[in-house]
Amino acid sequence: MRTRPRTGKLLSRPWTLPVLAAAAVAAGLLTTVPYGTTGGGRGDGDAPAGPAAGRLAAAGAPQGKARPDARHVVLAVHGGAGTALQRDETSPEREKAYRDGLADAVRAGKKVLDRGGDSVSAVEAAVRSLEDNPLFNAGKGAVFTADAGHELDASIMRGSDLAAGAVAGVRHVRNPISAARLVMEKSPHVLLAGEGADGFAARNGLATVTQDYYWTQARWDALMAAKKKAGGDRSAAGARSSAALADEQAKGTVGAVARDGKRNLAAATSTGGLTNKMSGRIGDSPVVGAGTYAKNGTVAASATGDGEIFLRGAATATISHLMEFGGKDVAAAAYEVLVKRLPKLGGDGGVIALDGRGTFDAPHSSEGMLHAYLTEDGTIVTKIFPDETPPNT
């Protein structure tokens, strides 16, 4: 049965103090975030009414039915699926940092759309912002492999003509999502990997970095914890589960979906992979149809979670196919894939999915999923705690 109380985050004014007092939000109500402001405390606020204000708050919604999270959405981002951020264990400063990180990514994409840019440029800009933020498992904040290195993956797709580009296992690209776009636009290929992808990016003018650029203390600590836990179970399954337990939030990715003024859709996804993963492991993020998919007339989707399961289930392409061939709307299609199909394969995660009319859904079977979205009236909503975006069951 699916029950999804809608709550959200109000960014009511610029922060002038290190911490704002938290205010209770009435259970089941959606609180919106006016664009152009920042903040970290929760509150009811007085977000403007308008076309985005009546976004299907699900208090009292029928159980067991897929319902979209919002309408009139133009861009959305996610920062990974997992269980790391618990309200009672998260300081106001940390809450603000995550909310600001998601909101900054949305604003980066909005700037592109505001000046008439296309949806591909908007999702690239949004994902670059997340790649540059060490809080997220992509770019600067990428997790460590088992041999204490970093191997990053990314993909991007244009809905108007199904053009796509991706890179896998790159080790020296500062912004893998921009390398993926280069593959789409400057090569005859869809996916480049390893040294070839690094070299292609450098030859085309992208900023390169040494491996120490990606290093963060939090990710190093997670690797050490994963190796310690894996010491008691030498099997591949044991190593895999230990990695997730050590750094649950890091099993996610970052991603963005958008529609532009011409209603063209685009999607992008980027990740550092799994903590303590085998060197050479590639998950769903750089694979078109698994971690990323965009097709005008159906959906732009970016996934996050257990990559092997999303690969086996062809997650994002299946959402599109259920819409195109099965007649489902975006919420019903995303719900079927994320809640009904993928868990049967033994994994969990989430997806952000947007159709050409601006209907948006973010279903997930994991306990939580960090995400944010922008509506036509300039409202930004951020959701980081499980009680704001409970799992679909």
Q: Which residues are catalytic?
A: 253
AA identity, residue 41: G
**CA–CA dist 305, 283 (Å, integer):** 10
| CA dist 31 → 27, 52, 117, 348 (Å) | 10, 11, 29, 27
Number of Cβ within 10 Å of residue 21's Cβ equals: 9
Sheet hosting strand 360-361, strand order edge to edge: 292-294, 300-305, 349-354, 360-361
- Is the CB of residue 338 less than 8 Å from the CB of residue 344? no
Backbone angles phi, psi at 96, to 5 degrees: -60, -40
Residue 181 tokens read as 């776009």
Residues 6+ apart with CB under 8 A from 389: 4, 7, 362, 364, 368, 369, 371, 383
**CA–CA dist 102, 100 (Å, integer):** 5
**β-sheet bridge partners, residue 271:** 153
255 CA to centre of own chain: 4
